[in-house]
Amino acid sequence: MLREFIFKANKTITSSNINLKDLPGSCGRLDLVCRCVSSAFFLSHDIRRDVIFYAVFYGEPNPPVALKFVGNELKKVSPDERNIAIFIKKALKKFEETPENKKTEWTESTPGIYVAKKEFRDIILEKKNEGKRILYLHKEGKDFENVKINENEDVMFVLGDHIGIGEEDEKFLEDIGAEKVSLSPLELHADHCIVIVHNILDKRFKK
């Protein structure tokens, strides 16, 4: 099973002018993105190679900018926020240097990390059209423990930041037939949701 996650970062900076000492503030909660990347991929002394993580930034000055992290290609990335932020900074720098007519194509900045000018919805729709199952993580959804998933089924999980994904994107997900699933009756951080999803699926399929 290929596990894919997409995270909408409503305020995260879309320039490479990243202050590594202020990821939550001047960078528009870039710390949340970094924690999600860490939770998506890193095990103790290993990395999950069957995971792809997308983050779509909608902050100033040039939204949207999408990043793609591919588990089986990542090199030299470590779990801490600062290290991940450095790689994101490199990706945004690469995006700024990419010719305008190439910006909508995925461009590799460092091994396993790609950047492009893509919308949150477009990436989800692309996955839907590829036949992937779309699960929207929301506290009012169906209990994920009771959701049947085939071991060979590729799934994309949709997550929002502290602001959420917004009513329009929720309507879009409903229109394309995304399933709303819940991990808890409480509001959880997106990075915690990723850990719980991995845990549930690990127990089912990695025996």
**Binding site feature residues for S-adenosyl-L-methionine:** 137, 160, 183-188, 193
HSE (CB half, 13 Å, CA atoms) of 198?
23
Render 147-188 in DSSP notation, one character per residue.
Answer: ----TT--EEEEEEBTTBS-HHHHHHHHHTTPEEEES-SS--
Binding residues: 137, 160, 183-188, 193
- Token pair, residue 146, equals 């009771």
Sign of torsion over alpha carbons 93, 29, 174, 137? positive
For residue 128, what is the enclosing H or E element? helix 120-129
Amino acid in the structure at residue 163? I
The greatest distance separating any two alpha carbons of the chain, rounded to the nearest whole angstrom, comes to 47
Nearest partner of 164 among 183, 136, 142, judged by Cα: 136
Nearest partner of 52 among 43, 39, 40, 64, judged by Cα: 40
Q: For 108, which DSSP code? A: E
